[in-house]
Amino acid sequence: MNRLYLFFHKTGSPPWFYRFSGYLIPWLWVTFVVLTAIGLYLGLVRAPADYQQGESVRIMYLHVPAAWMSMMIYGLMAVWGFIALVWRIRIMEVLIISSAPVGAAFTIIALITGSLWGRPTWGTYWVWDARLTSELVLLFLYFGVIALYNAFDEPRKAARAASLMAIVGAINLPIIHYSVLWWNTLHQGSSIGSSGSSIHPSMLWPLLIMAIACKFFYGANLLSRSRLRLLRQDHRKRWVQELLSEES
């Protein structure tokens, strides 16, 4: 059998996924902790305070990566959902619903850190600015997916419904983003784009390290959640029984 094909089938099988992710998770957590330590040290201690925003600029090292993650995870959920709907791979169904709480948490972190930063800088905790609003709508989209999943009794059906909702939401997300952007904007534009960055390296590095650390956090958290969910769904199946008798 073709190697790639084999890998595809293996990853789709819950026992294999369980074993494989078990090896991976400790490394992901360690990398996350190390990167976060470096990123926070560089960001909170070494990086200079901003000449305009003062020390409050340091909240950016958490805020911006969290905002990036909130959008990336929703996009990934649509990808998992598409695979789950088209190829009926059960691992993907588990991945999508395990992603949703992590994504929602990052969205909430981005909103809270943003409003804490907004108070000294803009003089208010909340404004109906484009980015804040689209982030809030994104949070509602996450809540929708989670609520829809919980409304069904049967996990596989629930996951497929959540997948469809995630895809519909992901198609709408850019439309929501641009319509809101055009509606009202106060937020500063992106400092980092495809054409390079306008941030000084001493501030850029901790930001990027934190962004990568967040991705490792997502990976570790996602796999841990998925393993738990798989165990709970399959607790009567043989592989789980064997696993339990092995460990005891």
Site residues, another protein (CB under 8 A): 85, 137, 140-141, 143-144, 147-148, 151-152, 157, 160-161, 164-165, 167-169, 171-172, 175-176, 178-180, 182-183
* Residue 59 in tokens: 């909240």
Helix 130-151 to helix 155-183 angle, to the nearest 10 degrees?
170
The residue (of 165 and 209) whose beta carbon lies closer to another protein is: 165
Task: Kindly state the tokens that stand for 247.
Answer: 């460990």
Please report how close the Cβ of residue 85 comes to another protein at its closest, in angstroms: 7
User: Please, what is the minimum distance in Å from the beta carbon of residue 195 to another protein?
Assistant: 27
- How far, in Å, are 52, 176, 194, 213, 215 from residue 171 at the CA level? 38, 9, 22, 28, 23
Q: Give CA angle at 87 (86, 93), nearest 5°.
A: 90
C-beta closer to another protein: residue 87 or 143: 143
Nearer to another protein, 90 or 215 (CB): 90
| Closer residue to another protein, CB minimum distance, 153 or 247 | 153
- C-alpha distances (whole Å) from 97 to each of 122, 166, 191 are 36, 10, 32
Minimum Å gap between C-beta 128 and another protein is 11
CA distances from 30 to 35, 47, 216 (A): 8, 24, 9
Nearer to another protein, 114 or 169 (CB): 169
Tokens of 134: 């689209």
User: Smallest gap, in angstroms, from Cβ of residue 172 to another protein?
Assistant: 5
Shortest separation between residue 157's beta carbon and another protein, angstroms: 6
Q: Which amino acid is at 27?
A: W
To another protein, the closest distance from the beta carbon of 169 in angstroms equals 7
* Phi-psi map region of 204: left, alpha, beta (phi>0 left; psi -120 to 50 alpha): alpha
Q: Is the dihedral of CA 47, 54, 66, 33 positive or negative?
A: positive
The tokens describing 56, both together, are 């409050």
Question: Residue 140 CB, nearest distance to another protein (Å)?
Answer: 4
When the beta carbons of 157 and 200 are compared against another protein, the nearer one is: 157
C-alpha–C-alpha distance, residues 77 and 71, integer Å = 10
